[in-house]
Amino acid sequence: MVLVLLISLGFLVYGRIFSAKVSIVVAPSIAKVKIGDREFSSSEEFNIQPGEYTVSVSADGFEARTGKLVAKADEISNVHLYLVPSSAETENWYNEHDSDALIMGEIKSWERLKEIDELVEKEPVLANLPLTVEYYTDDYAKYTKFIISFDLDDSSRGFYLIMKDYTGEGKQAALDKLAEIGMDTKDLKLEYQDFTEDRLNYRAE
């Protein structure tokens, strides 16, 4: 009995150390996914031995994609991507296949969130955004002066800042505030949005 228990525990520990989970979500649904020398469907979850693998995803009429997958023990590795149509027969594929279009939209959202996480890792000060600067009126009502946020800059694979100004503070007020929280404001790309006409509509909670 003790021996059986020890063997069972051994398999459990071995399985946790030498098994990695992989989640596949790919569009279109007709795509074939190959990881190493094994083939999988476009939506699948399975266990694999930890290590580095070559991943290829292909479908007739779409641009194939390849990449690397690093599967780590006791972690989930994601293969979440979509293929771009490359022929006249498939150019309207996502317009004609609602389920694939929905999956593609979800994958794009995941990719964007991943890019944001990577940016914040490189620029930790971005974790402080969005930043809201407020003020009080004589009757102690609290209003918003301006809000600073950021978004991905697809042209440079970096980021740009957005200032929504409700009281006419101007760009410099945003740059000064960013410098206060430790951001290097030199050469920052700042998009200024004037909301002064809506000032009284932005009472802070």
pLDDT of residue 188: 86
The full DSSP string for 76-103 is: EEEEEEEPPB-STTTTTHHHH-HHHHHH
- Statement: the pTM of the whole predicted model exceeds 0.85: no
Q: What is the pLDDT of residue 13?
A: 44
In which residue ranges of the chain is pLDDT below 70?
Answer: 1-18, 198-205
Residue 7 has a pLDDT of 40
Spacing of C-alpha 74 from chain mean position: 22
What is the per-residue pLDDT for 155?
A: 79
The string over 148-179, giving b where at least 16 C-beta atoms fall within 10 Å of a residue's C-beta and e elsewhere, is bebeeeeeeeebebbbbbbbebeeebbbebbe
CB atoms within 10 A of CB 45: 11
| Residue 125 and residue 175 in contact, taking contact as beta carbons nearer than 8 Å | no
What tens digit of pLDDT does each residue of 61-73 get?
999 999 999 999 9
In the chain, domain spans: 16-120, 125-201
DSSP characters for 41-74?
-SEEEEEE-SEEEEEEEE-TTB--EEEEEEE-TT
Give CA–CA dist 181/170, Å, rounded.
18
DSSP-derived pairing of the beta strands 32-35 and 51-58: antiparallel
Q: pLDDT for 28-59, tens place per residue?
A: 999 999 999 999 999 999 999 999 999 999 99
By the 8 A CB rule, do 19 and 51 touch? no
Distance, in Å, from the CA atom of 72 to the CA atom of 181, rounded to the nearest integer, reads 36
The CA–CA distances, whole Å, from 155 to 103, 158, 176, 180 equal: 25, 8, 26, 28
DSSP SS3 for 30: coil
Query: What is the reported pLDDT for 12?
Result: 43
pLDDT at 138: 82
pLDDT at 4: 42
CATH code of the domain occupying 16-120: 2.60.40.1120
